[in-house]
Amino acid sequence: MLETLLTTGAGALSATAGVVVGGIVTRRAQDRQWLRDKQLDAYKELFTHYARFTMILRRAHADRSGWDYDWGEWSASPMRASLVAPAGITHEIQAFGLAINSFLDVVGRDARTDPLTSEEFEAAREAPAAAQVRLVNAIRRSLNGAEKELPFGIGG
């Protein structure tokens, strides 16, 4: 009888341990998936702002027209991305932001009275475009190390 009781107890203990370990493993997988989803949302928002204000500025200079943008939202998007990004990505986000600042120093002037030519605009966009490629490639590596690097930028 003692042998049956010990066998039953050991079986129950093993089953309980399996449930606990399974719960921990499942929770970790869910946490990783949640973080990955949040990272992708933040990166998407960052690049959406970049593409949007670049197009607004490009059109303003080409059309010699005024422009406006919600710079508060742009400024918040790198901060939001850095909340969920791995450390290596935050360094690239910072470098991207600095390149954007130098771009805005050149193209942020009044396009109605002092427009840039398309060549001048593209020259000003070189640094942020290069920083964008570095950031995209760092993000691709962090999400899936098997992804090959892109040699060029897309959008923006």
- For residue 122, give its domain range: 37-143
Residue 54 lies in a domain: yes
pLDDT of the residue at 13: 66
Question: Is 135 part of any domain?
Answer: yes
In a domain, 105, yes or no: yes
Q: Decide if 15 is inside a domain.
A: no
**3 state DSSP class of 47:** helix
Is 19 part of a structural domain of the chain?
Answer: no
- Report the predicted TM-score, pTM, of the whole model to 2 decimal places: 0.79
Q: Are 153 and 126 in contact (CB under 8 A)?
A: no
Domain count, the chain: 1
Find the mean pLDDT for residues 85-101.
96
What are the pLDDT digits (tens) for 18-44?
Answer: 665 666 666 787 888 999 999 999 999
Helix (H/G/I), strand (E/B), else coil: 84: helix
Residue recorded with tokens 């919600």: 70
**Six-digit token string for 101:** 């600042």
Which pLDDT score is estimated for 30? 85
Confidence of residue 17 (pLDDT cuts 50, 70, 90): low
- Assign 150 a pLDDT band (cuts: 50, 70, 90): confident
- If pLDDT is split at 50, 70 and 90, which confidence band does 144 have? confident
76-112: b (≥16 Cβ within 10 Å) or e:
ebbebbbebbeeebbebbebbbebbeebbeebeeebe
The answer to whether 97 and 82 are in contact (CB under 8 A) is: no
Over 70: is that where the pLDDT of 48 sits? yes
